[in-house]
Structure 1
């Protein structure tokens, strides 16, 4: 198989992709096959871009393929343009996929929300009620509205509700230790995965 290097933002993306490649393609990616970049702000800085550019060029020089998988954040079109222009300006080659589904605004955590095992949806309903409650509450002598927890916290709470209270179970909540092949928690066959699967099929389906 052609050498494939995958460039992601963080540990959560790395662990998910490792599990998904194993589940969908029975493919164990080689050590250093996934490179953590720390995201757009990092690669767009002089300090953060040099090592990534070197890795991409080295792989391309060996007839390898680079895949860049980032969050689209608040503006899918803008982030796609940012990365396309960066690609041209730095004279590197890569294929691009933007979480959550390569067309909408958002991030990796939105994908995770959409692929939870449907039987566990009541857990997220409880969380939504909690967020709505925060939006309606006012604290005396506080002018600013209450802060809604980040989506990362929502995913963390989802797993915490399902896993036990022992230290070994709690460790499974952390991004680096999660098991996305645990069917009681995640549905990797969800239709929401179709765009990501189509993207990867080009490189891993044989």
Structure 2
């Protein structure tokens, strides 16, 4: 049995945290899902604590972890920080877990917000060009959508595009774009320096669970 159990929304979070923890602490955690063993468990979406069906599965797991004295951590997207902070505070009191909300446990956002802030500085041009693309879209109207405006692609799409600009064109290289195959320890793509201002809150949150292990 692991000395810690992390619960996250999905594969992006799993791979990012697996790489971060390996980079910072030299600890390799396994990836799993509800019903499948692992130390970083995907609950398959942000509605885990709102879904009676999922809670039927999750509550016994949290209770057993508490009985065994295994530290339990939930790391979700903040989205609207004040709303999800209140929700997780309530659930954490009942299920006895610590929690962190991406990007920094203080503001609205998501894991993609954090990822955009920790790209390798040499690649900033990718997001500068993306900003120009978004500005261009917002400045035009269309009869093709109900709103009469183009929809700005989601931040998740932006991160996919960022990685796609950095990998090769073969099928095997394109596989590296997928969430489960990303290498956040690649210094040509990402800056995982724990002193990075955007990463300090996460490092300070994780330290008590890993720094002495």
- Alignment RMSD (CA, Å): 1.6
Gaps of 5+ in 2: 32-37
Summarize the alignment of residues 41-56 of structure 1 with structure 2, pairs less than 5 Å apart: 41-56=47-62
Shift of 1:42: 2.8
Aligned to 2:63: 57
2:131 match: 128
Q: Tell whether the 8 Å contact from 1:8 to 1:37 is kept in structure 2 after alignment.
A: yes
> Hey, what does 2:96 align to over in structure 1?
93
> Deviations along 1:47-79, whole A, 9 cap, x unmatched?
111222222111111111100001110x21111
Question: How many angstroms apart in 2 are the aligned matches of 1:20 and 1:50?
Answer: 31
Scaled by the length of structure 1, what TM-score is found?
A: 0.94
What residue in structure 2 maps to residue 68 of structure 1? 74
Alignment match, 2:29: 29
Structure 1 residue runs of 4 or more that deviate by more than 3 Å after TM superposition? 140-143
The answer to whether the Cα contact below 8 Å between 1:163 and 1:170 also exists between their aligned partners in 2 is: yes
Q: Which moved more, 1:57-66 or 1:136-145?
A: 136-145
Tell me the alpha carbon deviations over residues 109-162 of structure 1, each in whole angstroms, 9 at most, x when there is no partner: 000000000110000000011011000011246551110000000000001011
Q: Is there any run of 5+ residues in structure 1 with no aligned partner, and where?
A: none
2:198 to 179, 192, 202: 192
Pair 1:25–1:141, CA change in 2 (3 A): closer
- Structure 2 distance, partners of 1:118, 1:192, is 14
Aligned residues: 203
- TM-score, reference length from structure 2: 0.91
